Amino acid sequence: MVVILMERVSSSARGELSRWLVEVKSGVFVGRISAVVREKLWERICVPAGGGATLIYTTNTEQGFTVKTNGKSRYRIVDLEGVFLAEAP
């Protein structure tokens, strides 16, 4: 499972994601894609650095997922000894 959260990004970046994932709410994309497609999409999202993006996907960790961030976001993700926590500004 892959979840991508987009904040203050162009409509073309959102359009690129909507080809592969379902936009369940404005800027929130969910779906099942391969690791190769996930990484290629993440590379494309990270190029336009006008807004912020958060990628969450399932993996073999304590919490069962990994988080990647790029750009400006309302919350900062902190890795505390392998556990991801969201820190408010």
The enclosing domain of 61 has a CATH number of: 3.30.70.240
- pLDDT tens sequence across 25-70: 988 999 999 999 999 988 888 866 567 889 999 999 888 998 888 8
Q: Which domain holds residue 74?
A: 2-87
Predicted pLDDT of residue 75: 75
The predicted structure's pLDDT at residue 59: 92
Q: What is the DSSP annotation of 12-57?
A: HHHHHHHTTSEEEETTEEEE---HHHHHHHHHHHHSSTTSEEEEEE
**Residue 8: which residues within 8 A CB-CB, separation 6 or more?**
50, 51, 52, 72
Q: How many domains does the chain have?
A: 1
Among 88, 18, 26, which Cα is nearest to 51's?
26
pLDDT at residue 79 greater than cutoff 90: no
Using CA atoms, how far apart are residues 78 and 84, in angstroms rounded to an integer? 6
